[in-house]
Amino acid sequence: MDDLLTTREVQELLKLDRTTIYRMIKEGRLTGLRVGQQWRFTRRDVETLLSRASDAVEAAPEPAAAPSADALRLHCIQAIQDVFAELAHIGAVTTRLDGEPLTGVSNACRLCEIIQSSADGRGRCVASWRALAARSERTPQTATCHAGLGYMHARIAIDGQPTALLVAGQFRLSATPIETERLARELGLDPAEVAAAAAAAPLFDEPARAQIAGSLKRVAETFESIGAERARMIDRLRRIAALSALDGPAVEEVAAVS
């Protein structure tokens, strides 16, 4: 005799909530038996439904570039990044692996604001961020950007796949003045203004940089959790759509609103 499953057991197998299960019974897409006040379901029927749903999900078009930085909830990322940058007295930005920013720069220092006021300056910043993505170290290490300021990064991976970069820094590495004359000339900026902005950048010693590195890693891990949770939610919506007998385009529409 085929095993009889409870509603909770069916929920766990299909990864659906109780309301959806009852709706499927009402619509005739799931066969159930009333035993007193409770519903029971044959394992064979549930496994057949699960198999059909899996086939439907596999046949549906996959979300573009998954997993990708698109899985990150950027409004959440921006808010967390803003608080992190302000508390740590640094600048921060989240970028794609090609260096293109996903968020606005949080708590930018005056030198970075001046540099990014020009298209060429912004391009140099993107190139610096892209160079960080190519580095192989697993823990945040201090590097020097094109303007001579110190910064570090942590990779953001979703399902083990690197998808984005959290960059933090905009601090001086020593009391020695940063050479800014050539930078100002090449970018067409006021040399005196650039030099004054560079001198005003915070100076962080090794212990301070180590503390930033630890915080940076934890914030990046938080971003990974946000991205992974959204990816799971999209997958769950696709499963619900398949079990609800939606066609491929409808599945994509449901996933898009997440």
Which tens digits make up the pLDDT trace of 145-158? 999 999 999 999 88
Q: What is the mean pLDDT of residues 230-256?
A: 54
pLDDT at 202: 94
Write out pLDDT tens, residues 83-140: 999 999 999 999 999 999 999 999 999 999 999 999 999 999 999 999 998 887 778 9
The count of other CB atoms within 10 Å of the CB of residue 44 is: 10
Spatial distance between the Cα atoms of 252 and 110, rounded to a whole number of angstroms: 44
Look over the chain and give the mean of its residue pLDDT values, rounded to a whole number.
83
How many C-beta atoms lie closer than 10 Å to residue 228's C-beta?
17
Using an 8 Å Cβ cutoff, are 93 and 101 in contact?
A: yes
Asked if 31 contacts 41 with a C-beta cutoff of 8 angstroms, the reply is yes
Tell me the per-residue pLDDT of 28-75, one tens digit each, with 9 for 90 and over.
Answer: 778 888 888 889 888 888 887 777 766 655 555 554 444 456 667 788
Relative orientation angle of helices 206-243 and 248-256, to the nearest 10 degrees: 150
Neighbours of 26 (CB within 10 A): 9
Q: Which are the contacts of 219, defined by CB distance < 8 A and separation ≥ 6?
A: 80, 81, 84, 154, 166
91-96 β-sheet, strand order: 91-96, 161-171, 150-158, 143-144
* pTM assigned to the model: 0.67
